[in-house]
A and B are shown apart, each in its own frame.
Chain A
């Protein structure tokens, strides 16, 4: 913070420029020094993120043999991709998955505020309990859930049989499989959202609650009018992270359904579609085009969220 006060003081009084311009002026004056400090970070990003993205973009316009040797084919990969029904089914599956996992956020808000109640005993213990699934390995999580979901011998169908429901083959019936994967996804990402939201709750000044209580607000009213509005920045952050990671759904699907599952073609996510083309069928140019489409979709969705956030996120 000292930095920004120094900078403000050095700006001549007549420079009544808007804040943004002032930042730009400061950057120009500082020369290359700031760049030197971020160089280690930037070079990492450049080598491991930006360069591969550029490479992928290039290869998406080529036909790439199994052992390299890319030949330029123009937009052939993209015309083929947009005519491929598999793309739309994978997109639909990914959206369905994302929508279900997003349902975890309201639940996380509610649970986090319950855990934040003053005087709650064993709060840390509960927090650990909810967070455990997030740190568990997706493969290990999937192995356990496979046993739960098993159609003939699974725990879930056994429990359902007590209430007279003949449960389906959760992970091998096209309509159900995506729900099964999404429920596990929700369950395992829930802990992360809850911790972030819990930290956000700690930042809400207790005076606001005291004032609300003096004004006679009920607990529900306090939750709705104090907690939720002041928590919107954390909710926004959690939403962005959840959506991006949902769009990258791969390992959970792969481990839960199994690579030989006959319904896999109907239950692919976008990234699985990419994997199957690039690493199973060895069609790497086509896979690069899929990767670019995923990249652009995530970019657009994230941009949209930043646009829309002004309407509901309370940044004061």
Chain B
């Protein structure tokens, strides 16, 4: 709980899924010994010779996924026995400052994890090797991964990263609270109005127990990016040059949360700051929670596990959710690029990603490898998160995402608390964001 309450990055929480990883270890050793990647690696492209001898580093931030990655590397070494892969884990909080220093001195790990908000900073500065050659040789096929994830790691038509895993957002709910309040359970056809009236009804009926209808982390990924997309708005224009916050649709996406809090359907911003929404939910004090697929572990380990289920997010003007996922990228400065690319290609294969999924590390990105995740918690409709890829939109980013993301957390809370009218806050945010984007 320490991780999610300090909450410095939604992307890290996905790692909680990895806790089940150890269980799969025994099964894996028996199940995956058929040297799956030999055909992929020998299928042309500039695949290095099998006796290539090199030592490369694979940089990542999530310790809980290391078991699955070690298993991947073991398979990789069956093809390339002389490539030694050192897995280098740096905790989330220091991963990015460290990576920045390494990029400045051209000492990046040969292969490393990249996320959406940071990708263009590195891709735009030429620090990452494009995957063009691997794609044109047929070693990697972008069509195997959700379109939105390919787009996330593409600049001007050139793709730089291979999707490794993904997460989408869903509506977690507590059946017991719905029954107690006498409200109908969420369905896939729910609209914003259905959601709002259910949230208010629960808050009203169970006020004496201190139970609220709904809430979210009040960060972009799990809450207002989703509603902005559902309202038909945008956070940033397609070319990454202008802010989308001053459009009427985007303002509706923000008002969704202001209205929810004002109606009493959700705890206030202060309440959600002192006690994060996921804790309200897992303590049985919240009827519905907007959160990602990564919350599965936290929910499964909580006392409300047997009452929890998940539904698609309610529909506004249209159905939408944010999708985000980590990708593997090769450093442009790598001295062992051939070996690093061989590993990148291997990790992109269906077999490697299936292995990741089977070990419970993550939801793998390769289409059709997600069944293990879906089956991981009987009684909970986890298929929702997989189906969401059909209408998911990429996490909004630009060259220096962090700069304007900091503005969001400065300006929007005043709108959510009702201190500033939504129209003023979004106008202010759009103006300042456009100023920053002009400098990129």
On A, residues with C-beta under 8 Å from B are 65-68, 143, 146, 149-154, 169, 171-173, 255, 258-265, 276, 279-283
Whether the pair A173, B270 counts as a contact (CB closer than 8 A) is yes
Instruction: Please determine whether A66 and B100 come into contact, CB atoms closer than 8 angstroms.
Output: yes
Asked whether, in the complex, the Cβ of A276 is within 8 Å of the Cβ of B406, the reply is yes
Residues of B within 8 A of A146 (CB): 5, 274
The 9 residue pairs across chains A and B that have the minimum distance between CB atoms: A262-B413, A172-B273, A169-B270, A68-B104, A172-B270, A259-B8, A151-B274, A281-B403, A265-B410
Are A67 and B409 also in contact (CB < 8 A) when A169-B270, A262-B273 are?
Answer: no
A70 to chain B, nearest CB (A): 11
Which of B6, B125, B412, B416 contacts A258 (CB under 8 A)? B6
A260 touches B8 (CB 8 A): yes
Establish whether residues A259 and B275, one from each chain, have CB atoms under 8 Å apart when the complex forms. Answer: no
Asked whether, in the complex, the Cβ of B403 is within 8 Å of the Cβ of A283, the reply is yes
- Chain B minimum-CB-distance residue to A69: B104
Interface check B2, CB cutoff 8 A: yes
Interface residues of B (CB under 8 A from A): 2, 5-8, 97, 100, 103-104, 121, 125, 127, 210, 218-219, 269-271, 273-275, 400, 402-403, 406, 409-410, 412-414, 416-417
Q: Is A143 a contact partner of B125 (Cβ separation < 8 A)? A: no
- Apart from A154-B274, A260-B219: 6 A-B pairs, beta carbons within 8 A: A67-B103, A169-B273, A172-B269, A260-B409, A262-B409, A282-B100
A65 cross-chain contacts in B, Cβ below 8 A: 125
Q: Which residue of A143, A172, A260, A283 is within 8 Å of B2 (Cβ)?
A: A143
Cross-chain contact A280 with B406 (CB below 8 angstroms): yes
Q: How far is the CA of A151 from the CA of B8 in the complex (A)?
A: 21
Q: Report which of B7, B271, B413 forms a contact with A169, defined as CB distance below 8 A.
A: B271
Interchain CB contact under 8 A, A66 and B400? yes
Bound form: Cα–Cα A3–B416 in Å: 70
Q: Select one of A154, A258, A265 contacting B7, CB under 8 A.
A: A258
Taking the closest CB of chain B, its distance from the CB of A78, in whole angstroms, is 18
A258 contacts B400, CB within 8 Å? no
B243 CB to nearest A CB, Å: 16
Q: Is the CB of A152 within 8 A of B271?
A: yes
Question: Residues of B contacting A262 with CB < 8 Å?
Answer: 218, 269, 273, 409, 412-414, 416-417
Q: How far is the CA of A67 from the CA of B409 in the complex (A)?
A: 25
A261 and B273 within 8 A (CB): yes
A282: chain B residues at CB < 8 Å are 100, 121, 400, 402-403
In the complex, the chain B residue whose C-beta lies closest to that of A64 is B104
B residues within 8 A CB of A151? 270-271, 274-275
- Interchain CA distance A276-B60 in the complex, whole Å: 23
A80 → chain B closest CB, angstroms: 12
**Set of chain B residues within 8 Å of A255, measured between Cβ atoms:** 6
- Determine the distance from Cα of A262 to Cα of B406 in the docked complex, in whole angstroms: 10
Q: CB distance A281 to B406 under 8 Å?
A: yes
Tell me whether A66 and B270 are in contact (CB under 8 A). no
Least Cβ–Cβ distance between B155 and chain A, in angstroms: 15
Q: Which of B7, B100, B270, B417 contacts A260 (CB under 8 A)?
A: B7
Cβ distance B398 to chain A, nearest Cβ, rounded Å: 12
A65 to B125 Cα, complex, angstroms = 10
Complex: chain A residue closest to B102, CB-CB: A67
- How far is the CB of A290 from the nearest CB of chain B, in Å? 15
